[in-house]
Amino acid sequence: MTHILVYVDHVDGAVRKPTLELLTLARRLGEPVAVHLGAGAQAAAEILGDHGAVRILAHDAPEYSDYLVAPKVDALQAACAALSPAVVLLPSSAESKEIAARLALRVGAGLITDAVDVEAGPDGPVTTQSAFAAAFTTRSRVTRDVAVITVKPNSAPVEAAPAAGTVEELAVDFADRATGTRITSRTRRESTGRPELTEAETVVAGGRGVNGAENFRIIEALADSLGAAVGASRAAVDSGWYPHAHQIGQTGKSVSPQLYVAAGVSGAIQHRAGMQTSKTIVAINKDAEAPIFDLADYGVVGDLFEVVPRLTEEIRARKA
């Protein structure tokens, strides 16, 4: 059986949704084996097994949280040496892409990042990527025996598929260089209680038109009525109205929800790069010429301070 390694993205054993999506994709290609690094493998094993992981290779050491990226590359390299997988799948987070790149170099694998789909093909996995702010779709494959592929969140469904989920200890020797970049302090982000932006089914984003940090409350109220995550344009973030962690676009988060609602966002190319693959796009903007309307499935030309509260009220009424 062909082994497909799946790198587990988790916080102390709380597995994040994109990892479960990777397991769905991995099952199309071979037998999924999850690699869990750091604390919490037993907690993670259950959910990984429920979603198709036949085996879970686990290793815990302080190096994973005390040093940047390199120790995790050592561990994945060890897993590759042990199992000779055909494919290694990782989520497309900033850190995972760096891990993927260094791993590909070490194991002689081709590297594909930000895939939005992965299928089995005659010569190995075939990926779909979107390029140039999603104006193009490309299909690629790797010309080496091993493929390292990172996949964007929301690219595959999460499906239950019970498997053994046996936890095994992975033996890892850290290279001297693994400890080159020390993490001297860490401040965890406080949870907003709203869904994680990149994983959310619905995203409500505010732009420069929101015109002030205080006014973001009406964006949050709409988001809460829909159970959505809150996003912001760079203009809103640069103005200090909303934290950078919520920025959507080329230099922010890339989102691909079922529903994207943009209020007071013009739709610049760099913003579109981060949201254009959303399934349904809704825009509220007082300028009928704003480029966001070119993408919108439904657009309201109007003042967001009128439209958004009214919409929120309607949604609440319908849900009540």
Partner 1 sequence: MTLRITVCVKYVPDATGDRHFADDSTVAREDVDGLLSELDEYAVEQALRIADESDDAEITVLTVGPEDAREALRKALSMGADRAVHVEDDNLHGTDALGTSLVLAKAIEHIGYDLVVCGMASTDGAMGVLPALLAERLAVPQATLLSEVSVAGGQVTGRRDSDAASERLQASLPAVVSVTDQSGEARYPSFKGIMAAKKKPVDSLDLSDLGIDPDEVGLKGAWTAVEAVAERPARTAGTIVQDEGEGGKQLAEFLAAQKYI
The burial class, CB within 10 Å (0-12 / 13-18 / 19+), for 198 is buried
Stretch touching ligand FAD by CB under 6 A, among 1-9, 49-57, 73-81, 243-251: 243-251
Binds 184, which of ligand FAD, partner 1, none (CB < 5 to 8 A, cut-off by type)? partner 1
DSSP letter for 38, please: S
Distances (CA, A) of 4 to 29, 82, 124: 7, 12, 12
Instruction: Give the HSE-up count for residue 116: Cα atoms under 13 Å, Cβ half-sphere.
Output: 16
- When asked if residue 251 is in the footprint of ligand FAD (CB under 6 A), the reply is yes
Residues 195-234 that bind ligand FAD (CB under 6 A): 207-209, 233-234
Q: Please name the amino acid found at residue 144.
A: R
Binds 217, which of ligand FAD, partner 1, none (CB < 5 to 8 A, cut-off by type)? none
Given a contact cutoff of 8 angstroms between Cβ atoms, the answer to whether 89 and 80 are in contact is no
Stretch touching partner 1 by CB under 8 A, among 33-41, 55-63, 204-212, 243-251: 243-251
The burial class, CB within 10 Å (0-12 / 13-18 / 19+), for 57 is buried
DSSP secondary structure string for all residues of 84-102: --SEEEEE--HHHHHHHHH
Binding mask 51-90 for partner 1 (x = CB under 8 A): -----------------xxx--x-----------------
Q: Which of 223, 226, 230, 248 binds partner 1 (CB under 8 A)?
A: 226
- When asked if residue 230 is in the footprint of partner 1 (CB under 8 A), the reply is no
**Shortest spacing between CB 279 and ligand FAD, in angstroms:** 20
Determine the Cα–Cα distance for residues 139 and 267; give it in Å rounded to an integer: 26
| Dihedral sign of CA atoms 230, 232, 236, 240 in order | positive
Judged by CB under 8 A, how many residues of this single chain contact partner 1? 92
Q: Tell me the binding residues for FAD.
A: 208, 233-234, 247-251, 264-271, 285
Determine the Cα–Cα distance for residues 43 and 60; give it in Å rounded to an integer: 13
**Shortest spacing between CB 268 and ligand FAD, in angstroms:** 4
Residue facing ligand FAD at closest CB distance: 249
Residues 172-191 that bind ligand FAD (CB under 6 A): none
- When asked if residue 305 is in the footprint of ligand FAD (CB under 6 A), the reply is yes
Binds 293, which of ligand FAD, partner 1, none (CB < 5 to 8 A, cut-off by type)? partner 1
- Buried b vs exposed e over 81-106: b needs ≥16 C-beta within 10 Å? eebebbbbbbbbbeebebbbbbbbee
Determine the Cα–Cα distance for residues 131 and 252; give it in Å rounded to an integer: 16
Given a contact cutoff of 8 angstroms between Cβ atoms, the answer to whether 6 and 26 are in contact is yes
Residues 92-131 that bind partner 1 (CB under 8 A): 93-95, 97-102, 104-106, 108-114, 126, 130-131
Q: Tell me the binding residues.
A: 208, 233-234, 247-251, 264-271, 285
- When asked if residue 185 is in the footprint of partner 1 (CB under 8 A), the reply is yes
- When asked if residue 244 is in the footprint of partner 1 (CB under 8 A), the reply is yes
